[in-house]
Copies of this chain bind each other. A is one copy, B any other.
């Protein structure tokens, strides 16, 4: 297996320092990104008797094929303003695993409340289950330090997943996985069936960026830049789209913009695309049959402040046409 001890050592130290993650370097499983990590984990869950997994609804839909290909049934869990609702699983005793984004729910942008965190860990403990924590963008919180990880609270119950996609680039395919001890054997047995490891060049390059402080400097700089872009976006929405509400906390690289009730999300998305503005409707991220309230998912990390202001002004002309009367 092509996994360098150096990268795992530097990464374990960093995860501990930044996110409180508890992992010895040899226990860090290096994978080709978050989808690969969840794919491996889903297969390990299936191999250890799981048949289903609760997923936030809406959620990052690119994880769906990995979970389904492993033979796990997806059980959608609604998300409200305190995070996903685990009580929806009360009458489904076969669900013993939940995939979640507690630091910054994707795509709604809410942070999981302390009582929901406790409830979720209690659920996993009661069912001898596991929580899969996708910590995809926690390093981008603009108003305060990010909330800690579930893994730090209960490493025996939580499988932790992270990647370089937000902190550096998705063009690297580099992610990691730290699993509870009871899953370690299944993961170790399945790992060689996936590939022989991840690019050694990228592991060594990331180790270098991490241990020299270069990554932290880069993050300080991008955090400031993305924070300004978020402020610009929020201000532009207030100015041009007064009937639209921005949801979620000041974090991450995207926001959800709630459209007025009855506004046809798909038409707004299509007309925006025709104007050269790439936005996605939140219905793209739905898991269950329930259609979410109309909203746009707006990524702002790669846009300058002027492009953000112009894009929102353009969106406003489209939204006005489709705003229900009254």
Contacts and interface: CB of A to CB of B under 8 A. Distances in A.
A185 B323 CA distance: 41
B32 A193 contact: no
Nearest to A36: B195
Interface string A190-210: 101111111111100000000
A68 interface: yes
Given A201-B172, A202-B201, A195 B69 contact: no
Contact of A32 (B32, B43, B65): B32
A66 interface: yes
A64 B27 CA distance: 24
A190 B2 contact: no
Given A69-B190, A190-B69, A202-B201, A62 B173 contact: no
Nearest to A171: B200
A252 interface: no
A304 interface: no
Interface residues of A, number: 31
Contacts of A174: 199
A43 B68 CA distance: 14
**A69, A193, A197: residue with the most chain B Cβ atoms closer than 10 Å:** A193
Contacts of A36: 194-196
A170 interface: yes
Contact of A33 (B31, B172, B196, B201): B196
Contacts of A33: 195-196
Given A2-B170, A170-B2, A39 B199 contact: no
Interface string A1-28: 0100000000000000000000000000
Contacts of A43: 69
Contacts of A198: 32, 173
Contacts of A69: 43, 190, 193
A35 interface: yes
Nearest to A201: B171
Contacts of A196: 33, 35-36, 62, 170, 173
Given A170-B2, A199-B172, A199-B173, A192 B32 contact: no
Contact of A35 (B31, B62, B170, B194): B194
A326 to B, nearest CB: 42
B65 A193 contact: yes
Top 9 A-B residue pairs of the complex, sorted by shortest distance between their CB atoms: A69-B193, A171-B200, A65-B193, A36-B195, A32-B195, A65-B192, A66-B193, A173-B199, A35-B195
27 contacts: A31-B195, A32-B173, A33-B196, A35-B192, A35-B193, A35-B194, A35-B195, A35-B196, A39-B193, A39-B195, A43-B69, A62-B192, A65-B190, A65-B193, A66-B193, A68-B193, A69-B193, A70-B193, A171-B199, A172-B200, A173-B198, A173-B199, A173-B200, A174-B199, A194-B194, A201-B202, A202-B202
